[in-house]
Homo-oligomer: A and B are copies of this chain.
Amino acid sequence: MTDSTSHVRDNPRTRPAKAPLSRQAVLAAALALVDEVGYAAVTMRRVAQALDTGPASLYVYVADRDELMAGVYDLALAAVELPGPADGDWRARLELLVSRLIATLGGHDDIALVAITRVPTGPQTLRILEETLTLLRAGGIDDAACPWAADLLDQYVTSSALELAARLRDQRAVTKAEGAAEATEEAMSRAARSELDAVYGELPAATHPTIHALRPAMTTAGRTSNTSAAWKLGVIIDGLLAHHPQP
């Protein structure tokens, strides 16, 4: 559709007043593209195109694609509101913060991949780290253990966000494929899960007795439901409270 109107958009007279390029504009355009075409498909060329310029122009504002994506990651985190006193004690607030982080990051496709390649250090990341450490301390976690605990929670957030993003991707693919008629959760349960169910379900008891025995549990509940997410986070926090390594 861009082609049919390109000579109109290219015309300086009809072009929508093209705001001057800036780092913020580049990051915002890239984040919008992540949502539209997916993380992997966001190329320097496509970002440039969205900004009505050439790819070379982006390098005035970002060092390379990696650094651009790190900026997008931090920009996405700006939408995460910190829980307040009204949200309960430290544990309730920490659980709320973590679930907001997973929902926000997972809502921008695979943007959480940024946190896997490098340790993010943007202002929004630091804002959330500060809050996480504060809540952990309020929970009585040893000062020496707090950074490790925050790191563990971060690993959990990142991998959960990527799992959520994959789930949403599957969901979109299915609803798009089948005329978008059925409920979203229902649609997903057959598509993405059916192949995995087939793998686990057909393993013979002779070679994989435990997987075979747990077959109903492995399929019914779903590996990445909302209840499993809450359960996992509960495990980690209970573990933080229970774990006292031999001194």
Contacts and interface: CB of A to CB of B under 8 A. Distances in A.
Interface stretch (A6-14, A74-82, A174-182, A227-235): A227-235
Contacts of A118: 166
A188 interface: no
Interface stretch (A24-32, A49-57, A215-223): A215-223
A232 B152 contact: yes
Chain A interface helix/strand/loop/mixed = helix
30 contacts: A118-B166, A126-B199, A126-B211, A130-B211, A137-B214, A143-B214, A144-B217, A145-B231, A147-B218, A148-B231, A148-B232, A149-B235, A151-B224, A151-B228, A151-B232, A152-B236, A155-B155, A155-B160, A155-B232, A234-B245, A235-B236, A235-B239, A235-B240, A236-B239, A238-B239, A238-B242, A239-B239, A239-B240, A239-B242, A239-B243
